[in-house]
Amino acid sequence: MGVQTSALTNGFTAGTIQPGDFCMKIEAVDLFCGVGGLTCGLRQAGIAVLAGYDIDPACTYPYEENNKASFQLKSVSEVTGEEIAKWYSPGAIRLLAGCAPCQPFSTLANTRDEKDEAKWGLLGEFARLVRELKPELVTMENVPRVTNHAPYRQFLETLRELEYEVDAKRVRCADYGIPQERRRFVLVASRMGPIKLRKPAEGEYRTVRDAIQHLPPLAAGETDRNDRLHKARSLTPINLERIRASKPGGTWEDWPQELRAPCHRAATGASFRSVYARMTWDRPAPTMTTQCFNFGTGRFGHPEQDRAISLREAAILQSFPDDYRFSRPGDKVFFSSVGRMVGNAVPPGPMLPT
């Protein structure tokens, strides 16, 4: 697949920053690292990621096992710029990267109080670390609506006060080779000169077929003998009938009346067309959520097989490598735990700067 990197692993290009000249000298620390999606993409781009910070202990094994970087079980609010500085080698171009938790800025945030520091403060902590460390490069990713809220405006103001060159925009991940219709907001900043995010690639996008057709077939409730993550959730008898009646790209309206749930028959049922639904082979997948393994919570039905997508398929559609490990050998694989890791991750690739 070559060198790849995500929307957030991004635009260290243009002006004085060229990947061919500098990538081997760039060293990064990943804030809010989770399972390591952003770190994985940065490493694929040739950037040395030294450490990741997160408060979820379940991410320790997959982060360190896949990325060979140190996982720090610590809240970003407790970290200082002095501590972060100790990770970098003398003379390195220092990149501070991160994706602050996006829940406060999602569509559910309409009724929330922006003055509530407990809900809004982590992007401010990121800004504090930028101010204390003054790294040469900064990058962040979040939901598109983050730009509507005060914490983002304050973050941007901090960068401008510190004389960073900034480029930021909303992106459709499918335009950058990621096989899903995820929308995100991406920012890159540099104290070394102008910097630009990569332009969307023209031409064909990667599809569900491109990403997962090569995996062995499964039945609902089955686990592949060679990959414990290629595991499909069981379906109740009625949901098995429903998925058999579902067309790729269709809705519950394709079902006979006896299979429709009461919520579908209600006047408001028209707003639920993307649940209990199959993906389409020749389109990008929908956004992978923390419930992407569940047929009833979105368009997460396999395009052809009578089941929801497996955890491995979800991870690949999130652009993780096929062999990315999410649990220790011998440990039981839990749908809820791995689904949360996958759904909350920054897609690793591909979005290499030009």
Q: Give yes or no for residue 12 having a pLDDT over 60.
A: no
> 234 or 106: which carries more pLDDT confidence?
234
User: Do 184 and 304 belong to one domain?
Assistant: no
pLDDT of residue 272: 63
Examine the pLDDT at 1 and tell me if it is beyond 70: no
145 and 110 in a single domain? The answer is yes
pTM given for the model: 0.88
Domain that holds residue 124: 19-190
User: What does the pLDDT read at residue 266?
Assistant: 64
Secondary structure class of 170 (helix, strand, coil): strand
- Check if the beta carbon of residue 75 is closer than 8 Å to that of residue 55: yes
Q: Compute the average pLDDT of residues 305-318.
A: 98
pLDDT tens for 174-195 read 999 999 999 999 999 999 999 9
Let me know if residue 4 belongs to a domain. no
102 annotated active-site = yes
Rounded Cα distance, 297 and 336, in Å: 13
Same domain flag for 272 and 173: no
Measured CA distances, 152 to 102, 124, 127, 248 (Å): 11, 8, 9, 39
Options 99, 102, 173, 292, the catalytic residue: 102
Residues 152 and 246 in one domain: no
Whether the pLDDT of residue 20 is over 50: the answer is no
Mark whether 120 and 219 lie in a shared domain.
no
Domain count, the chain: 2
**Residue 21 pLDDT > 90, yes or no?**
no
Assess whether pLDDT exceeds 50 at residue 169.
yes
Q: How much is the mean pLDDT over the chain?
A: 87
Q: What is the DSSP string of 191-251?
A: SSS---PPPPPPSPPP-HHHHHTTSPP--TT-EETTEEEEE-----HHHHHHHHTPPBT--
Higher pLDDT, 201 or 353: 201
| pLDDT above 70 (res 52) | yes
Q: Return the amino acid letter for 120.
A: W
Q: What is the pLDDT of residues 107-165, one digit of tens each?
A: 434 444 444 444 468 999 999 999 999 999 999 999 999 999 899 999 999 999 999 99
pLDDT band at 5 (very low <50, low <70, confident <90, very high): very low
**83-91: average pLDDT:** 97
Q: What is the pLDDT of residue 350?
A: 55
